[in-house]
Structure 1
Amino acid sequence: MEALSRLLLALVVNGVITGFLIGAPNRVIINISHLLFADDTLIMCEADQRQVQALKALLFCFEAVFGLKVNLDKLELVPIGLVPNTRLLAKTLGCKIASFLMTYLGLPLGSASRASSIWDTVIEKIERRLVEWKRMYLSKGGRITLIKSTLSNLPTYFLSLFPIPASVAIHIEKLQRDFL
């Protein structure tokens, strides 16, 4: 993956593809062209036929040199904003088209960050765990340990991206209190 990262960076440095620019014009601008997560890769570029063709060529070269097959069945093109040539770009890459309202690595992407509805999955996970645990005979110490080690950690992953609404925090605390 380090090699793929360097190949993508070379495309950006040479102006073949443009990543996602972050920053104000009078400050340092960061160009993010790709993100790697375990065996997942997010690649960002303009909705431009030449950039997509260059990306496809890079993926085929990567396959040939390193012997790692790129699974085109899992490849998805996710347009952000109005992209009139989405079908053509997807056909060029040989991939599916997905919408930006999606779940990636368990996090809902494209939804309003302050909406309490994005926390429904966390609350459902907590409630599922509690249903299993309530069937077990546990001491008060055992219940406290489960709350601290598991229930308190379930929202942590979501908190890395989304602020928790007060109503959701109160609801989670109530579930924990009722279990205790």
Structure 2
Amino acid sequence: MAKAYDRVHWDSLFQVLVGFGFSNQFCNLVKECEILSRLLRKQFEDGCIGKFYHPLGTPLILHLLYADDILMFLNGENRSLRQLCSTLSCYERRSWQCISREKFAIFGSPTISSARKRSLVRLTGFAKGNFLVMYLGVPLVRGQLKAGHFDQLIVKIRANVAGWKAKLFSQGGRLIFLNHVLSSMASHLMAVLEVPQIVLKKINSILSTFFWGEHNGKAKIK
């Protein structure tokens, strides 16, 4: 089918969900997400909210929405931000949902002055965001990714390894645990980011030690 997603009729989609046994509560939640996406897309397409243009050759992204997390990309004009606030208020009226404005944060370009950033915070009532920030487990940074940006991933893998005693597993059991649990934690990031080699070496070292075991606190010689 040609561009099947663009041709899906929402009413038809909800009928399919009901047919598969999804509750009305779940369907209503999907409808609320769809309302917000449509409202934002229309404001961008009509030019009411100015677009944030990305580097040449990259796709233009207006917003990313997953569950109750959303990232919006727009320019820093007062008019755009006022219209964004108005759109969020419109969504609240239509959906009877309450936007957690205290959880919103503005991440500005490095070319924007501190005074201008403070002005935008006052205008919207949002907090001033600072990089590094995590979105769906992926580090979002300004500039090039560095090894230090993956410290949280390393700590998480070590914590998972520490929670399981390798001696309680057979070698086959350890291999299954590596393939289906520990390795998948890193695979998610490696699928979307260019992970520095030093980080990959650290991860391999942790997984290798878990697989082969330790002796007197040191990794066994393979």
Q: Normalising by structure 1, what TM-score?
A: 0.86
- Aligned pairs for 1:1-180 within 5 A: 1-22=33-54, 24=56, 30-84=59-113, 85-134=116-165, 137-180=168-211
CA distance in 2, matches of 1:140, 1:162: 31
Deviations 1:117-151 (A, max 9, x none): 22222222222122222265221111111111111
2:166–2:210 CA contact under 8 A, matched in 1? no
CA distance 1:32–1:169, change in 2 (3 Å): closer
Mind listing any 5+ residue stretches in structure 2 that lack a counterpart? Answer: 1-32, 212-222
Provide the secondary structure at the position in 2 that maps to 1:41. strand
Cα distance, 1:60 vs structure 2: 0.9
AA matched with 2:36: L
Cα distance, 1:8 vs structure 2: 1.0
CA distance 1:111–1:82, change in 2 (3 Å): closer
Name the % identity. Answer: 28
1:17–1:51 CA contact under 8 A, matched in 2? yes
Provide the secondary structure at the position in 1 that maps to 2:101. coil
- Larger-gyration structure (1/2): 2
Mind listing any 5+ residue stretches in structure 1 that lack a counterpart? Answer: none
Provide the secondary structure at the position in 2 that maps to 1:21. coil
2:43–2:49 CA contact under 8 A, matched in 1? yes
Q: Size of the alignment, in residue pairs?
A: 177
CA distance in 2, matches of 1:109, 1:102: 5
Provide the secondary structure at the position in 1 that maps to 2:60. strand
1:77–1:95 CA contact under 8 A, matched in 2? yes
Kindly report the root-mean-square deviation, in angstroms, between the aligned alpha carbons of the 2 structures: 2.1
Provide the secondary structure at the position in 1 that maps to 2:48. coil
Q: Where is the helix percentage greater, Structure 1 or Structure 2?
A: 2
Cα distance, 1:169 vs structure 2: 2.2
Q: Normalising by structure 2, what TM-score?
A: 0.71
Provide the secondary structure at the position in 1 that maps to 2:102. coil
CA distance 1:174–1:100, change in 2 (3 Å): closer
2:92–2:98 CA contact under 8 A, matched in 1? yes
2:150–2:199 CA contact under 8 A, matched in 1? yes
CA distance 1:124–1:101, change in 2 (3 Å): closer
1:34–1:44 CA contact under 8 A, matched in 2? yes
CA distance in 2, matches of 1:89, 1:168: 37
